[in-house]
Structure 1
Amino acid sequence: MDARAWDAKYAASELVWSREPNQLVAAELADLSPGTAVDLAAGEGRNAIWLAARGWSATAVDFSQVALDKGSRLAGDLDVTWVCADATAWTPPGPVDLVVIAYLQLPAEERRRSVRGAFTMLRPGGTLLLVAHDSTNLTEGTGGPQDPAVLMTADDVLADLAGLEVEVVRAERVAREVRSADPSHHEHGGDVRRTAWDCVVRVVRH
């Protein structure tokens, strides 16, 4: 999907994603002291906005200017820099304390390049957090991409980082509860809980 297609997707609705941060991103990063952060493939910037509200100086990078414009309106006066660029190729002007990659679903070779690029943005002691739809979500979970080529496991991501100075804090498959309307129960307002499977990788650069 190219930038124009995402522009159209973001232009078609008020908010494609929620205003709240991804629940796994929020849970993992709540204990970190604020610093400089980059949110790659940020979309409307919900994770960058959440970080900025917690005192971070955040940069949101996405190739959809429409999404970034919406995020900028949501962010108001918060400290977020909005950058329209290819998240797989962009680099910050200097080392940062945190890089977040949430649901950037790419084929293996592109993913490896993106993950390694993101890690090299970090200063020593900096954190990379990746959250993605797990490979097992296709058969065991709900939602997410239906193309196995863009799904991954925590082990895949760690393999992407092979040879780099990595301290692994967390690398595992995690259940995420998803609420969805069930059309067969519409008379009850049908709020159905389903489980999606994500992979979460949190590493620190030595």
Structure 2
Amino acid sequence: MDSSAWDRRYTDTPGLVWSAEPNRFVVEAVTDLTPGAALDVAAGEGRNAVWLAGQGWRVNAVDFSTVAVDRGRELAAARGVTVDWRVADVTTYRPVPNSYDLVLISYLHLPAADFAAVLAAARSALRPGGTLVVVGHDLANLRGGTGGPQDPSLLLTPETVVDGLAGLRVRRAETARRPVSTPDGGTVDALDTVVVANRPAD
């Protein structure tokens, strides 16, 4: 889906397409870290970027949808935090190497070669001691979960993400369950890939 299609999706949806609250796995991975410089890749409407800024991080957020970035700016203003927003295609965007203490890739689903390029750029953007967090719909979600892309070629597994993290120390790599509310007031589980890794400090 290109940027104009995402612009239409955001424009056609009243309110936020996604929750204004941060992803639970992002919170788990980041809560005990010392705030520094953070990059949110494919930030969407900015829920994670805004939360990070509220925790004291200096956040750069990148997305190719102008509408999403505008909504992110509105959310940041409403929360009274500062985020540096940039409209750019993450498949070609290259952050400055060795610049970030935290890089986040959350629910970015691309063909394998494009995702690998984004992951490589994210890895190189980390400073020594920095943390990379990757969260996305897991391949197992097709049969055992709910929601998310239905094209298996766009889905993640912990193994495929870890394969792209040469030189980093993997702290967490698993398929995790995420409860999703249903219209009848119940919940069902979505299955997400969650990977957290660090660039060695030495």
TM-score bucket of the superposed structures, by smaller chain: over 0.9
- 1:86 counterpart SS class: coil
Which residue of structure 2 aligns with residue 195 of structure 1?
189
Which residue of structure 1 aligns with residue 5 of structure 2?
5
Structure 1 unaligned runs (5+)?
182-189
Taking every aligned residue pair, what percent have the same amino acid on both sides? 48
User: Post-superposition shift, 1:28?
Assistant: 1.4
- Larger Rg, first or second structure (1 or 2): 1
Aligned ranges 1:17-96 → 2 under 5 Å: 17-76=18-77, 77-93=80-96, 95-96=99-100
> After the TM superposition, which of the residue ranges 142-151 and 91-100 deviates more from structure 2?
91-100
Choose which of 176, 180, 184 in structure 2 pairs with 1:174: 176
Report the Cα distance in structure 2 between the residues aligned to 1:29 and 1:44, rounded to whole angstroms: 19
Aligned ranges 1:76-155 → 2 under 5 Å: 76=77, 77-93=80-96, 95-155=99-159
Q: Which amino acid aligns with 1:79?
A: T
Question: What whole-Å deviation, never above 9, does each CA across 1:138-157 have from its counterpart, x for those lacking one?
Answer: 01101111000001210111
Report how many residues are paired. 196
Question: What whole-Å deviation, never above 9, does each CA across 1:181-204 have from its counterpart, x for those lacking one?
Answer: 1xxxxxxxx112101100101010
TM-score normalised by the chain length of structure 2: 0.94
- 1:191 counterpart SS class: coil
- 2:91 counterpart SS class: coil
Give the root-mean-square deviation of aligned CA atoms. Answer: 1.0
Report the Cα distance in structure 2 between the residues aligned to 1:106 and 1:93, rounded to whole angstroms: 22
TM-score normalised by the chain length of structure 1: 0.92
Q: Is the 2:179–2:187 Cα contact (8 Å) retained in structure 1? A: yes
Structure 2 unaligned runs (5+)?
none
